[in-house]
Structure 1
Amino acid sequence: MSRLAEITAALPVPAATFLAWMEFQKGASEATVAAYAVDILEFETYLRGMGASLERPSEITRQMVQGFSASLFRQGMARSSMARKLSALRSLFRHLLRLHKIEADPCAGVRNPKQDQRHPAMLNVDQVFSLLDEKPAEAVAARPGDMSADDVFLLRDKALLELLYGSGLRISEALGLNVNDIRPESGHVQVMGKGSKERIVPLSDASKDALSRWLSVRDRVPPAHGERAAFLGRRGKRLDRRQAARILEGRAAEAGIPQHLSPHDLRHSFATHLLEGGADLRAVQELLGHSRISTTQRYTHLNMEALTRIYDAAHPLSRKSDKKS
């Protein structure tokens, strides 16, 4: 039994039915459904300590939701994690409201904790060049008959990082790709995004070269049980998030990049560099697979912050101390 199935089995029927609706009707990814399941089970555990349960959703009150939020705060939980858990509960109770299982939403009026202003790490162009250094991969590709296992995986790592930055994919999208989703010769990749929405994303010239090199040697990693994943781990199974994060961390260290990097930081850098280069906001929205333009607009806000800092540092009239009457 999978971890998701175990959690669902421990939940009352109204919650388990909601998760099934998310997966099969709404088309949410397994990772999203599993995250919601964990959050809802935590809420159910809290309710049982008070003699309540989602088995009787009409008895759940706003005070109970607020009490749950306060308990998370006392545990020292990150505000972003608290907000995610409350978001899961809002989705659950909106669903129950639509089904007329409850008469009022107990999450109504419950606010998220104020979030810390944190932005993803941003690479400058020189750092991107260092991270995606072409020389090692070119040297390996030049000796196809004398290639070690480490050489094969160097080509894999290069292809993955080029794809994350060059096409701005989410890490889940990149790792979810199968071999037949990637078409280097035609210059695009077919991606399954959030909400099971497909989109076609163009490949940079560097990505096309890197992917072609990797796919030409992929079969040297024996796939487990006919695994069709584009990116394989050393045991022939689909590469997972933790392995991808380690690949990026190792490459960043080799490139002398001081800040901690996550795969999402490459996507963030991709979008920011496009906008800084004059790309149309709607075009960037399409490339990123954002359903709302407001999500993409956050990158323009960050660009303005950067421009303001440059202005304040360089302009002779930007500081009061420099102004003279």
Structure 2
Amino acid sequence: MSWIEENLPHNLQVFIAYLEVEKGYSLATLRAYATDLKEFELFLNKVKKSLDSPEKIVKPDVLSFIQELYAKNLSKSSLARKLSSLRSFFRFLLKRKKIETNPLLGIKNPKQEKKIPRVLNVDQVINLLEVELEPSPKNLRDIALAELIYGSGLRISEALGLNLEDVDLGQRVVIVLGKGQKERMVPLSKKAAQRLLNYLRQREAFNPSLREQAFFLGIRGKRLNRRQANRILLRLAKEARLNFNLSPHTLRHTFATHLLQAGADLRTVQELLGHSRISTTQRYTHLNLETIMQIYDQAHPRAKE
């Protein structure tokens, strides 16, 4: 932890060490936590308090800190991140009985502005999924993952949670465990099925143990994790010369949007996405009233009278 200033409070240094050693957080994440908590420490110093005396910190201190951040015109997302850092720190202290009450208790994050996720156009999707790569096991895995998320609209957690028995390439379906432990069957496109098969034939190159049932494997033969998956999509986007960062959610959102643009009905898209409420699907696909009415007029027999 040579990058951390030596004059930081001892409690903060212990917390950062915990995040590094036990949680395995990246250097960038550790620095973000340290920066946020150091800012709070400097604020506390003004009222002669410190993170090294956490029992003296009370809820009004946190509220005053938030007020100061608001005065600096800090964005709501940045404020939410700082509050998240504080929550983690004080939960850490609470578990270790350094404090008896959490001064963050009852303090909520500011409401975030709803941002419409980016949607790839068809040409961008083709450039991404048809990018020329050497047919190595790693590249076959990477393109299969991207093809699956776009082709079937899976959440990244659902794709990475797949086991070998969940993928039926003959019937071209996957069994997905979604939110709330709800299971659903999702179809595979012919292209996705072929890409998955190409990867599956090279899966042993990752040297999995006999007990490992994960479909997508990392370099150590274990189940591919979310961080690795994010890096995979960023690399593919770079190879395809897309001038923006690509996330799994972008591909899932693109899947839903392209289906609706092609005339799929909301209920079908709702089932494919695994949404329990159709209102979630409407929000997710940023449909406006005009689009919904157009679908209604085209599909409902009473609308045509």
Alignment TM-score > 0.5, same fold: yes
Which TM-score tier does this pair reach, normalised by the shorter chain? 0.5 to 0.7
What's 2:92 paired with? none
What's 1:283 paired with? 268
**Offset, 1:115:** 2.2
Q: Is the counterpart of residue 178 in structure 1 residue 159 in structure 2?
A: no
The equivalences for 1:278-317 within 5 A come to 278-301=263-286, 303-304=287-288
Distance 2:174 2:288 in 1: 31
Q: Is the counterpart of residue 168 in structure 1 residue 150 in structure 2?
A: no
Distance 1:123 1:178, change over 3 A: same
Distance 1:259 1:182 in 2: 31
What's 2:184 paired with? 199
Q: Is the 8 A contact 1:224 1:235 kept in 2?
A: no
Q: Is the 8 A contact 1:163 1:207 kept in 2?
A: yes
* Structure 1 letter corresponding to 2:260: L
Q: Is the 8 A contact 1:162 1:207 kept in 2?
A: yes
The equivalences for 1:98-247 within 5 A come to 107=106, 113-133=110-130, 136=133, 140=135, 151-224=136-209, 226-247=211-232
Distance 1:273 1:288 in 2: 13
What's 1:27 paired with? none
Distance 2:74 2:213 in 1: 39
Q: Is the 8 A contact 1:79 1:115 kept in 2?
A: yes
Distance 1:269 1:306 in 2: 20
Distance 2:180 2:79 in 1: 23
Determine what percentage of the aligned residue pairs are the same residue: 51
Q: Is the 8 A contact 2:128 2:236 kept in 1?
A: yes
* Structure 2 letter corresponding to 1:218: R
* Structure 2 letter corresponding to 1:130: N
Unaligned regions of 5+ residues in structure 2, if any?
1-14, 19-32, 38-49, 88-104, 292-305
Distance 1:189 1:115 in 2: 34
For these two proteins, the number of residue pairs brought into alignment is 231
* Structure 1 letter corresponding to 2:267: R
* Structure 1 letter corresponding to 2:115: R
What's 2:76 paired with? 79
Distance 1:78 1:223 in 2: 45
Q: Is the 8 A contact 1:167 1:202 kept in 2?
A: yes
Distance 1:77 1:231 in 2: 40
**Offset, 1:226:** 2.7
* Structure 2 letter corresponding to 1:227: E
Q: SS of the counterpart of 1:233?
A: coil
Q: Could you tell me the TM-score, scaled by structure 1's length? A: 0.59
Q: Is the 8 A contact 2:253 2:285 kept in 1?
A: no
Q: Is the 8 A contact 2:131 2:239 kept in 1?
A: no
Q: Is the 8 A contact 2:270 2:278 kept in 1?
A: yes
What's 1:260 paired with? 245
What's 2:301 paired with? none
Distance 1:251 1:134, change over 3 A: closer
Distance 2:285 2:157 in 1: 24
Distance 1:240 1:78, change over 3 A: farther
Distance 2:216 2:62 in 1: 42
**Offset, 1:125:** 0.3
Distance 1:131 1:197, change over 3 A: same
Q: Could you tell me the TM-score, scaled by structure 2's length? A: 0.62
Q: SS of the counterpart of 2:202?
A: helix
**Offset, 1:179:** 1.1
Distance 2:243 2:273 in 1: 26
Q: Which has the higher helix share?
A: 1
Distance 1:267 1:153 in 2: 22
